[in-house]
Structure 1
């Protein structure tokens, strides 16, 4: 029986997919920085370079990737605010993803693993024969589908943001094979209707499988619906983080009182709008430091983002990221 492209050991024959030979780790690092997040991969045995292949395809708001490195490796992915949710599935070999406060466990063939990069970094080890499928979900897509299908937007922050799931014989496993066949057997670019179908099918099945690991039923009536104004406030603060808007400016943009905004944020997000905004500003600062050139200084970058007191900025940055802003900048220049 013919295998499923992107889910078997054979090279995917999908017309729309990009194919990229992997001859150095920098090939993967560059690809990751441009499309997903800052990725660092190192060989586990000796200082060997990979001999593998990467296939990538974008279907609406979901990135589909198949990787094969040809050697055992450690993967470190840097999380950031508004980062995608990643679901990996081992086509061959195994992975050993790191869990919070627990010893890393082997995730075998056909098993999947989901991690939310907006909640933290991801670390994993791959076996020499590992071939893996990865799906990168736009978090806004997951919220949209959740609200459309289940009538609410669950607080995913309360779920395990790193967990194993799936496996042969599960609905998630069957869903992956169905969707990959649908994509590969379409002789022309997917229509907008098919793209939406793929987005909903994968998103619904991921959300249900992920929630089940936390013992939750997304259809249950007791789930809290997050007010639309909270999501709008979050979007506004992410978009305008570099401008350091005041709470009054945020509230005015949303036509809501500061008191109401703060009260709803505490109720539905467990933090204040100010705390959320500070996190976004630090993330922007880190992004600027990581992408700066040799002529820029920490003070110049911080000032451009509205930071006035360099000492307070440096203290908050180090507390959040575990290193000084100057150390981040120095590493980038080197």
Structure 2
């Protein structure tokens, strides 16, 4: 992560997220296995004692955790193959990670991605403090298949050493955490599917992996009929959080083909076109609502808007007035 990592970590987690605070090895292993993945834990020195703190924030289909063991430890696999990817964003201290034959020195601004298929080993010092994003293996493979236009998901292997963390991750995770505090994981679960997809897509696009060449290859231009099919699908789902990879799949295109086709035939990316359609939908609802029957926040979230501050700015830019003014006038 970038400057201010400690402040970001502190903003993400509060006392209500503490999963375990313990020096008992069995208790620590059990909590970390539930939040992250099954593993074996070895304390480096016989006389050393754990002082472990684990915070855990479930965000719908993925999760974010903060973990510090408090003494030098080694973490090794307990099962031959994992069902998740762990993206480590170090806050303090250092560690040495290995995955298969690949190894990396991990420290602030130099993270790591532990994939799901090969043997891993983490040698961690007592000061190592980390944020860990846990992603479901099947979702990573499905989003990757959408990016390259493949019908059948396949195993994904990331380069272990993580370079520059995608710039918007910090804001994305903080927004998701704030929505979780408001109970949105229960009331708007598909919002978190969208968050998850953004996290996975940005990782696949920015971090070297075995599909990088196919992901970044020049996409073939799809026929206009498939773009119209994509538009129809998005119009039918305006009131729901829409994953562009699902739009691409429903339209018979790769995600990059969808983006290239919209740029050619529509003149804007599919996400921008979808946002414009949603703004029109919000405007129509607010303009026709009976006084006292609606509030702007509910309408915006029901139309798929997540960041309400950005929504208000975009609405005013499009219609020349605030959404609350339209509702008040009505």
Instruction: Give the TM-score of the pair, scaled to structure 2.
Output: 0.55
Instruction: Name the CA shift for 1:192/1:182 in 2 (closer, same or farther; >3 Å).
Output: same
8 Å Cα contact 1:62/1:199 also seen in 2: yes
Query: 1: CA distance between counterparts of 2:58 and 2:11?
Result: 17
Partner of 1:285: none
Give the number of equivalent residue pairs: 214
Instruction: Tell me if the contact between 2:92 and 2:108 (Cα under 8 Å) persists in the aligned partners.
Output: yes
- Which of 166, 184, 188 aligns to 2:182? It is 188
Specify every segment of 5 or more residues in structure 2 that has no aligned partner in the other structure, as ranges.
221-330
- Shift in CA distance, 80/6, structure 1 to aligned 2, threshold 3 Å: farther
Alpha-carbon displacement from aligned partner over 1:194-250 (angstroms, at most 9, x marks no partner): 312211111111212334687525142689xxxxxxxxxxxxxxxxxxxxxxxxxxx
- Residue 101 of structure 1: CA displacement? 3.7
CA distance in 2, matches of 1:162, 1:78: 22
SS in 2 for 1:30: helix
Match runs of 1:59-98 below 5 Å: 59-81=59-81, 83-98=83-98
Question: CA contact under 8 A between 1:208 and 1:218: conserved in structure 2?
Answer: yes
Deviation at 1:92, TM superposition (A): 1.0
Q: Deviations over 1:83-115 (max 9, x none)?
A: 11221111111120124346x431221222112
Other-structure match for 1:175: 168
Taking the aligned partners of 2:16 and 2:208, their CA distance within structure 1 comes to 32
8 Å CA contact 1:211–1:218 kept in 2: the answer is: no
Deviation at residue 14 of structure 1 after TM alignment: 4.3
1:47 and 2:47 are equivalent in the alignment: yes
Q: Structure 1 stretches of 5 or more lacking a match?
A: 224-334
Let me know the Cα RMSD of the aligned residues.
3.2
Map 1:152-167 → 2, pairs under 5 A: 152=150, 157=155, 160-161=157-158, 163-167=160-164
CA distance in 2, matches of 1:218, 1:153: 14
1:5: Cα distance to partner?
7.9
- Taking a change above 3 Å as real, the CA distance of residues 13 and 161 of structure 1, as seen in their structure-2 partners, is closer
The residue correspondences of 1:300-311 to structure 2 (distance < 5 A) are none
Is 1:109 aligned with 2:136? no
Kindly provide the CA deviation profile for residues 108-138 of structure 1, in whole angstroms up to 9, marking residues without a partner as x.
2122211222x12210111221101112211
Question: 2-side partners of 1:127 and 1:3: how far apart?
Answer: 21
CA radius of gyration, larger in: 2
Aligned residue number for residue 128 of structure 2: 130
Q: 1:154 to 1:110 in 2, by over 3 A?
A: farther
Distance 2:28 2:141 in 1: 29
Q: Distance in 2 between matches of 1:6 and 1:197?
A: 25
